[in-house]
């Protein structure tokens, strides 16, 4: 199967299959009765691979981007009712599961949830969306074109302090204050409308020594603007508890992140779910305090050099997985 035929090569595809397989195949090798939520459906690359690998699996896909949903629906059409394409953000998983498109039933539990965070390959490749700093395009960066806030709005209307905060918090940009000052001065002459002018400003503002060693000077600023426009980190913080709570016993959540801010949120939530609530120092778990989850991955896994050579977009990917091992309210420890 060629993901490239649809303009999207799934990142770390084989490893994602390996991580979800034990949850999907608990009842049957083909995934009879199993449901996986692809919470970041995009163009449907991972969903297609899951459906083709497990021939009785149902995948419920969610995406806020209408163009992505159209592409995914076309890509997954051959799987019929096993593929459900739904409008929404990944923090709306609970709402989607109440009435998934085409399933004719609500879902109270699922066997897997997959998050492939950040901007999708399809969005990067659509030049008019403004996600890529390598081409001149309108400063948009909305994952859902129906949202109102754009990257241009952030640049043209935020105060110096708010703009510096966004660049520092979401882009981890060392020169956030300097860039904010330059933006405020430049927008007095005329508002920012396209990415080329912003990139030119960043080249002029960030010191040459940093430009030589720190990667493309626009990378952090574009990341920060995109996260601000789409509320990505707040959505992730809200989405993870719902994804974990929806898992059946033996179900798994797999998260693929592409920058440290996302990965930190995932690491913290997973660690909290795997921690006992018994007071420290006791020789046994108190009843009802044992962890309901266990980590599947040790730390964050990365793509192999072979995959990075074949698909450079996999280079920053970090994968973490967690499994539910007990229901909420289960008794733990020695009775």
Q: Catalogue all structural domains in the chain, each as residue range(s) with its CATH number.
A: 3-116+232-324 (3.40.50.150), 127-230 (1.10.150.170)
Q: Is 133 annotated as a binding residue?
A: no
| Percent of the chain whose predicted confidence (pLDDT) is above 70 | 88
Residue 5 is predicted with a pLDDT of 45
**Model confidence band, residue 328 (pLDDT cutoffs 50, 70, 90):** confident
pLDDT score, position 242: 95
8 is in an annotated binding site: no
Q: Which of 245, 246, 209, 233 is nearest to 107 (CA)?
A: 246
Residue 129 confidence (pLDDT)? 64
Sequence-separated (6 or more) residues with CB below 8 Å from residue 221: 167, 171, 173, 179, 198, 202
Q: How far apart are CA 270 and CA 113, in angstroms?
A: 14
Mean pLDDT throughout 64-86? 94
Please tell me the predicted confidence (pLDDT) of residue 122.
55
Nearest to 206 by CA among 230, 190, 222: 222
Are 130 and 155 in contact, with CB atoms under 8 Å apart?
no
Measured CA to CA, the distance from residue 21 to residue 327 in angstroms comes to 20
Residue 87 pLDDT: 95
**Average pLDDT rounded to a whole number, residues 133-146:** 85
Quickly state the pLDDT bin for 6 (edges 50, 70, 90). very low
Q: Binding residue per annotation — 169?
A: no
Question: How is residue 175 written in tokens?
Answer: 């020169």
Q: How far is CA 72 from CA 62, 104, 153, 313, in A?
A: 10, 20, 30, 20
Answer yes or no: is 45 a known binding residue.
Answer: yes
Residue-level pLDDT at 11: 86
Residue 266: what are its φ and ψ, rounded to 5°? Answer: -65, -45
Residue 8: the pLDDT is 59
Is residue 301 predicted with pLDDT exceeding 60? yes
Q: Give tens-digit pLDDT for 93-120.
A: 999 999 999 998 999 999 999 999 976 5
Instruction: Considering only residues 118 and 228, tell me which one the structure prediction assigns the higher pLDDT.
Output: 228
> Rounded to the nearest 5°, which phi and psi values hold at 135?
-130, 150
Residue 63 annotated as binding?
yes
């Amino acid at each position: 199967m060629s993901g490239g035929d649809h303009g999207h090569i799934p990142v770390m595809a084989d490893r994602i299959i390996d991580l979800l397989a034990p949850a999907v195949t608990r009842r049957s090798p083909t995934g009879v009765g199993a449901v996986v939520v692809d919470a970041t459906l995009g163009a449907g690359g991972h969903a297609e691979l899951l459906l083709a690998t497990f021939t009785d699996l149902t995948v419920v896909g969610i995406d806020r981007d209408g163009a992505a949903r159209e592409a995914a629906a076309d890509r997954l059409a051959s799987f019929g009712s096993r593929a459900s394409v739904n409008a929404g953000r990944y923090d709306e998983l609970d709402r989607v599961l109440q009435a998934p498109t085409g399933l004719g039933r609500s879902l109270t539990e699922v066997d897997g949830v997959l998050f492939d965070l950040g901007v999708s390959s399809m969005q990067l490749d659509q030049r008019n969306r403004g996600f890529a700093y390598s081409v001149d395009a309108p400063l948009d960066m909305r994952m859902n074109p129906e949202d109102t806030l754009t990257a241009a709005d952030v640049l043209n209307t935020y105060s110096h302090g708010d703009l510096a905060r966004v660049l520092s918090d979401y882009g981890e940009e060392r020169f956030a204050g300097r860039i904010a000052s330059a933006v405020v001065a430049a927008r007095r002459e005329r508002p920012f409308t396209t990415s080329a002018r912003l990139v030119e400003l960043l080249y002029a503002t960030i010191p040459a020594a940093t430009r030589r060693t720190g990667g493309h000077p626009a990378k952090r600023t574009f990341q920060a603007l995109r996260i601000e426009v789409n509320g990505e980190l707040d959505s992730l913080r809200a989405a993870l508890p719902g994804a974990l709570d929806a898992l059946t016993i033996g179900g798994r959540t797999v998260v693929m992140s592409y920058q440290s801010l996302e990965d930190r949120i995932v690491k913290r939530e997973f660690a909290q779910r795997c921690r006992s609530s018994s007071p420290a120092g006791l020789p046994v778990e108190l009843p009802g305090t044992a962890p309901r989850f266990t980590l599947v991955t040790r730390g964050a896994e990365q793509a192999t050099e072979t995959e990075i050579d074949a698909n450079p977009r996999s280079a920053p990917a970090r994968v973490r997985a967690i499994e539910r091992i007990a229901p909420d309210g289960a008794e733990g420890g020695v009775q």
